[in-house]
Amino acid sequence: MLVEKGVHFLAIEGVIGVGKTTLAKIISERWKAMFIEENFAENPFLEKFYQNKAAYAFQTQLFFLLERHKQLQNCAMQSDMFHELLVSDYTYDKDPIFAAQNLTDSEFTMYEQVAMALNKDIPRPDLVVYLQASVPTLLNRIKGRGRAMERTIEGSYLQSLMDRYDQHFWNYPYAPVLIINTDNIDFVHNESHLQLVLNAIAQCPRQTTYFVPEGK
């Protein structure tokens, strides 16, 4: 479907709790795609970060940067990106969003040096789906999935991240971006809502497009 339209690498993006991993898994199953999932649970600093952001932000961010780099390079080598579809639940280029949000100026300078050294031969998506939701919606979804480490996430932190995400993906230079507002739909539990999302992705927009589906 997407491969026939020139999309071999589809990335699903969005702020914490918006449902990007769930949607990426659904797409990989229904469209027979190779799935690339961010290994957040393997980050040994993440839980400590949520308890003390200032003390563990740099370690957490550097681990994610190195893991995303390694994972995308390995997947690119293992897959035939010209004949099959890859679906990921992140983009490599979103990493600096969290770095800018959480690191001090001196930490960010060091982070940038490492990131620039790694920013070579990284496969980038042919299409990005950026899922949006309001802070109350995100907080409800985060609460619903019940991850203990996420209990301390505050609405102000999510809002700041959302502002950075919006700026980043409205101006994303590498691929068209389909921005989908998910406040009024539940694509996890409602098949008709899911079809609205899948149909919008299948149309494969060639420029940044904003879509607000209205669920029934």
Which residue is listed with tokens 């040096």? 113
Instruction: Select which of 80, 89, 93, 105 is catalytic.
Output: 89
Mean pLDDT of 131-151: 91
Lowest mean pLDDT among 85-94, 114-123, 167-176, 187-196: 114-123
- Long-range CB contacts (< 8 A, 24+ apart) of 186-189? 186/215, 187/19, 187/22, 187/23, 187/26, 188/19, 188/22
Neighbouring C-alpha atoms within 13 Å toward the C-beta of 69:
16
Neighbouring C-alpha atoms within 13 Å toward the C-beta of 122:
20
Mean pLDDT of the chain: 91
For 59-104, how does the pLDDT look when each residue is reduced to its tens digit (9 = 90+)?
A: 999 999 999 998 888 876 665 555 689 999 999 989 999 999 999 9
Return the closest-CA partner of residue 26 out of 37, 15, 40: 37
Which residues have a Cβ under 8 Å from the Cβ of 171 and sit 6 or more positions away?
Answer: none
Is the Cβ–Cβ distance between 125 and 174 less than 8 Å? yes
- The reported pLDDT for the residue numbered 58 is 96
Helix (H, G, I), strand (E, B) or coil at 55: helix
Neighbouring C-alpha atoms within 13 Å toward the C-beta of 163:
7
Residue 127: pLDDT above 90? Answer: yes
| The 3-state secondary structure of 146-209, one letter per residue | CCHHHCCCCHHHHHHHHHHHHHHHHCCCCCCEEEEECCCCCCCCCHHHHHHHHHHHHCCCCCCE
- The reported pLDDT for the residue numbered 120 is 77
Rounded to two decimals, what is the model's pTM? 0.91
Annotated active-site residue 80? The verdict is no
Is the Cβ–Cβ distance between 188 and 139 less than 8 Å? no
Burial (Cβ within 10 Å: 0-12, 13-18, ≥19) of residue 54: exposed
Residue 123: pLDDT above 80? Answer: yes
Residue 216: pLDDT above 70? Answer: no
Dist CA 112 CA 30 (whole Å) = 38
